[in-house]
Amino acid sequence: MKETSLAADEALALLRENLSRLGTLSNGLAPGRLHTPPGPGTWSANDVLAHLRACADVWGGNIAKILAEEHPAFAGTNPRTWMKKTDYPEWAFEDAFRAFAAQRASLLHTLEALAPGDWERPATVRAYGQANERTLRSYASQLALHERKHVRQIEQALGA
């Protein structure tokens, strides 16, 4: 898998921007609009937020593992699989967004305190029968870039 990794300052900026954009898009909208998919077989804004929360749980959790241990090895978790173990899709959007924002604030606080070399801390991640080397920066980048795609999806779903 070819990875795109952002520089640390780019990842931080995009993580902030994604949160801000999501808040702006959803501000003042009726709950029904946030919970209604724009068409058959599509996700509502609330469904997308549930997915983003699962991604933040998984990939943010991987960042925490990398910081807690020198070169950890762990099994990768698919955020969609993780989401099925949560009740995130049933949450009211406002409550879910508040939880997402708090989680993001905590992650940003952690990432902003890192020394430049900490962004390159490695881990060995087992997934799909393979062991891959990943870095803290690769997880922060993955989270930021993946979210940006889904924020755009919410923009389209809400006609923004």
Evaluate if pTM is beyond 0.85.
yes
What is the number of structural domains in the chain? Answer: 1
Can you spell out the DSSP letters for the chain? -------HHHHHHHHHHHHHHHHHHHTT--HHHHHS-SSTT---HHHHHHHHHHHHHHHHHHHHHHHHSSS-EEE---HHHHHTTS-GGGS-HHHHHHHHHHHHHHHHHHHHT--GGGGG-EEEEEETTEEEEEEHHHHHHHHHHHHHHHHHHHHHHTT-
Residue 140 located in a structural domain:
yes
Residue 3 located in a structural domain:
no
Q: How far apart are CA 31 and CA 90, in angstroms?
A: 12
Q: Is the pLDDT of residue 1 over 90?
A: no
Q: Stretch 15-35: mean pLDDT, rounded?
A: 96
Residue 76 has what pLDDT? 95
Between the alpha carbon of residue 40 and those of residues 37, 43, 71, the distances in Å are: 7, 9, 44
> Given pLDDT bands bounded at 50, 70 and 90, which one contains residue 160?
low
Residue 2 has what pLDDT? 47
Q: How far apart are CA 81 and CA 132, in angstroms?
A: 20
Residue 1 located in a structural domain:
no
Residue 157 has what pLDDT? 85
Residue 103 located in a structural domain:
yes
**CATH code at 73?**
1.20.120.450
Residue 2 located in a structural domain:
no
Q: Is the pLDDT of residue 49 over 80?
A: yes
76 lies in which domain range? 8-157
Residue 159 has what pLDDT? 82
pLDDT digits (tens, 9 = 90+) for 79-130: 999 999 999 999 999 999 999 999 999 999 999 999 999 999 999 999 989 9
